[in-house]
Amino acid sequence: MTIWDDAMSIALAAARAAAEHGDVPVGAVVLDPAGNSLATGANERELTADPTAHAEIVALRRAAAKLGTWRLDNCTLVVTLEPCAMCAGAAVASRVTRIVYGALDPKAGAIASLFDVVRDRRLNHRPEVTGGVRAKECGKLLTEFFGKLSGGDVSEWPMEPASKAGVGQPTEGSNPSVTAKGPEQEPA
């Protein structure tokens, strides 16, 4: 049990609601500086036909509207799935102090799996990151959802990030926690 379990329960409830309307079950909650729920969001891309309606974006927009400012200083974003590049960028732009996520996203994760957008030292804001909170539970929602879509058995959601080596990865020196060593390539 972690201090983030209650907040992740709120995000998981939002994720379940997303699945009910045909969206990928990802949920998010923004906590105010005291740790109280400020705003929630769930994936709404299918529901609203909006390609940017990821759970994190929805929650960040609602939190900003509630506070009357785009700056979410000292707030925490809690999300069931590792944020993609768009959502990681939005978290940085909103100035959240911390990002807490559940399951890794091996296909689009931009904090640990594919990239590390939020801790790039070239950025003017770098939130703290806590990953893996209730990861199995968050991953199970996704596995079940995609299993129903495919009509078959889907393997368990991955709990380890894919290798960071290869084309399209952060370059050495862009992030102190990432060393890119891709395959040798011949000159074009």
Catalytic residue among 20, 44, 46, 56: 56
For the purposes of burial, counting CB atoms within 10 Å of the CB of 7, is it exposed (0-12), middle (13-18) or buried (19 or more)? buried
Rounded CA gap, 14 and 80, in Å? 9
**Residue 77: enclosing H or E segment and its boundaries?**
strand 76-81
CB 81 within 8 A of CB 26: yes
> What residue spans of the chain are helical by DSSP H?
5-20, 45-48, 55-67, 85-94, 135-150
CB atoms within 10 A of CB 165: 12
- Residues 6+ positions from 135 with CB-CB distance below 8 Å: 102, 103, 104, 159
Measured distance CA(95)–CA(73) in Å, rounded:
5
Q: Is 184 a catalytic residue?
A: no
Q: Looking at the annotation, which residues are catalytic?
A: 56
